[in-house]
Structure 1
């Protein structure tokens, strides 16, 4: 039995942040029902942005945040569809949405309105910037609200002449936000077992970015006054990537320099560094005047041999390191496969993919299924029938355009 079996989640959400939270809950056993308008979640077509497929037979970009869910299509501008939604919510434990506060209030789907009608309902809200403050109603995607607003793009660039802000990786803030939402919902469900009351769970892209960037946004404050952005030679030498002779890069991360200094220097064939007074301690390595010289030594040494050579030596020395993998490498790595971080999927079109799955493993529940995202309205008839609608009533709603059935 999976942990959330018996929990029904209604998800009225588009794009990635909130739907990824629904995906996590679905993997943990919840029945997640995605509610889409006839205009569809725009993410259904986003695969075309990457010059790839985006249709019912092959849509992996959409599948990842929407696998393991049922789908009902309701036009909530039609009163009968809104009535159907509330009948569905009356059977639900959780409601998830990323609609902005003002539209939700107009539709009567804000927390206070839902609390009055469905007092045991857990309501999960995803916003760009939080529910208070001057930007509460502003739109926000993760590239802006998470990456740009947090300071990451400006301050984590390599600050050399002519450099640009770092590219914002799409979907990372979204998936992080959805995962945090899922955790908050589980906490609220646990509390409801004791109180009998529903609750409101809210998370924002900007809020989560502030939390995950806390090391940086704390260290820049007095008395630390740590400086960002940095040039290449202002970086900490023992936590940097280095280019090897074959053009590949290796990232090292030595947190206990005094403990690993001699082993590292032996592996790198630089005994002179181990005996250099400037580099005896972690504090010495971290001094600004010592960073550039040590980086230059390591750059020259790494470039003298291939990444295979250095990888083998650093591994034997038990130094934390990794080649800089490419996105195409990560999803087919044996480590990812062995831990079921990715799943081999064959789409109805016949095309194969390795698709990521939520990485939290619950031993007793076993490996969750990986059922590809359902088509728009694929489960409308089944869900409405469960709510007491007759076949004639369902057909009438479809003819009116209030719903779409597959």
Structure 2
């Protein structure tokens, strides 16, 4: 069965995670994605070594996860001949993806304004740190800074104590969010091209993804509304907070419809009278900080008397939204993740196996998404040039000059 995007040709000039995520998703849906890399390769190929994760041709889970199903062309773009190869690729391309900064793209002559006349049907897709305009338009930005650091999350979502410090930065979350956003923008641009025949420039930034992802918080924190961050433990809504259980696990409780579910919660903790107490009777009463603290202390004491699994059964019976807080390592054995094909076992060339995540966008016509090994550096250099009708002699010349690498 042919895949939805099986006639789409994509050229990807990307590094690290954000923009490669977009290319991986396009490849999942059937696109022919050529990853153009410098002769030394994408720096991210070796990134796992700093985390005690294999990062070589035998086993490279982090690189494979974001580069599944692509072809690799190792190309020296510091030469005129290398740039000529890239332009030949772009003549035949539907989509060009890059996370290079605008200044560098202009220097190479492959910024949008330089290409749109030559390739009027090309969808030009970029991921930047902070957006195309403003004082930070050409600033460098990884997701630790442009997504997490600039969003407010690291400082304001920490728990305020005597020795508080910002949360440790979760890795690549903003990258994956931004890459997924760009996938959607490309799909919309391709649809528009079907209607009007014109290409387009679509762009996403890590900072923009952060502003949108944190939009709930950045609205209520405005001075006119006055919601203050960070919060101390007893300042948060006690019916939407985590509680430690007898076996030292945590239950995340989330009751948003107070009138409907709070009486059930009071019943299962053996305190039905609390649902009629004026201090806790509705969400307005719980805006009072003293009331919040009192109810949270009651719930802390109650949850500490049973194991997490016991609480899970009781809360499930009452249809109260909750979960036992998971560790990252728990996801690789999650029945729910595997049942929905969000993760699956992957066998590396060296025979080792690991559970790898997949993009969660799905389609009945597409079928089940698979994880494939990311390409070795320059693995398809010759076949890509052969597809462009380069002669065998020309390919040999480019290899001997160090313009391409196989």
* Alignment partner, residue 92 of structure 1: 93
Deviation of 1:222 (Å) = 4.2
Q: Deviations over 1:151-179 (max 9, x none)?
A: 11111110111011111101000000000
In the alignment, which residue of structure 1 is the partner of 2:30? 29
| Match runs of 1:160-171 below 5 Å | 160-171=161-172
Equivalent residue number for residue 145 of structure 1:
146
Separation (CA, whole Å) in 2 of partners of 1:273 and 1:124: 55
Matched with 2:4 is 3
Counterpart in 1 of 2:114? 113
Partner of 1:291: 292
Instruction: Quote the residue 2:385 is aligned against.
Output: 384
Alignment of 1:7-406 (within 5 A): 7-405=8-406
Q: Is the 8 A contact 1:58 1:351 kept in 2?
A: yes
SS, match of residue 160 in structure 2: coil
Give the structure-1-normalised TM-score. 0.98
Kept in 1, the 8 Å contact 2:274–2:280? The answer is yes
3-state SS in 2 of match to 1:72: strand
Deviation at 1:208, TM superposition (A): 0.8
Does the 8 Å contact 2:358/2:369 carry over to 1?
no
Shift of residue 331 of structure 1? Answer: 2.0
Distance, in Å, in 2 between the alignment partners of 1:197 and 1:284 is 57
1:50 positional shift: 1.1
Aligned length, in residue pairs: 405
Q: CA deviation at 1:288?
A: 2.2
Rounded to whole Å, the distance in 1 between the matches of 2:233 and 2:40 is 48
Alpha carbons 1:268, 1:310 under 8 Å: kept: no
RMSD between aligned residues: 1.0
Question: Shift of the alpha carbon at 1:284?
Answer: 1.6
Any conservation in 1 of the 2:25–2:183 contact (CA below 8 Å)? yes
Alpha-carbon distance between aligned partners in 2 of 1:5 and 1:270, rounded to the nearest angstrom: 60
For residues 113-148 of structure 1, the C-alpha deviation after alignment (integer angstroms, 9 at most, x for no partner) is: 110211110000110000111111110000110001
| Contact 1:256 1:282 (8 Å CA) reproduced | no
The two structures have a TM-score, normalised by structure 2, of 0.98
Rounded to whole Å, the distance in 2 between the matches of 1:391 and 1:267 is: 76
Alpha-carbon distance in structure 1 between the residues aligned to 2:366 and 2:113: 35
Whether the 8 Å CA contact 1:143–1:168 is kept in 2: the answer is yes
Once residues 117 and 287 of structure 1 are traced to their aligned partners in structure 2, the CA distance between those partners, rounded to angstroms, is 64
User: Could you tell me how far apart the structure 2 residues matched to 1:125 and 1:164 are?
Assistant: 34
Kept after mapping to 1: 8 A contact 2:5/2:31: yes
Deviation of the 1:192 alpha carbon: 0.6
1:268 Cα offset (Å): 2.4
Q: Distance in 2 between matches of 1:370 and 1:181?
A: 20
Other structure's SS at 2:116 match: helix
Q: Which runs of 5+ in 1 are unaligned?
A: none
1:335-394 Cα shifts (integer Å, max 9, x gaps): 000000002101011111110000011111111332110100001111100101112211
Q: Do the aligned residues in 2 keep the contact of 1:47 with 1:53 (CA within 8 Å)?
A: yes
Counterpart-to-counterpart distance in 1, 2:404 and 2:211: 40
The farther-off stretch of 264-273 and 62-71 is: 264-273
Following TM superposition, where does structure 1 have runs of at least 4 consecutive aligned residues deviating by more than 6 angstroms?
none
Shift in Å, 1:283: 1.7
Segments of structure 2 that go 5 or more residues without pairing to the other structure are: none
* Secondary structure at 1:116 match in 2: coil
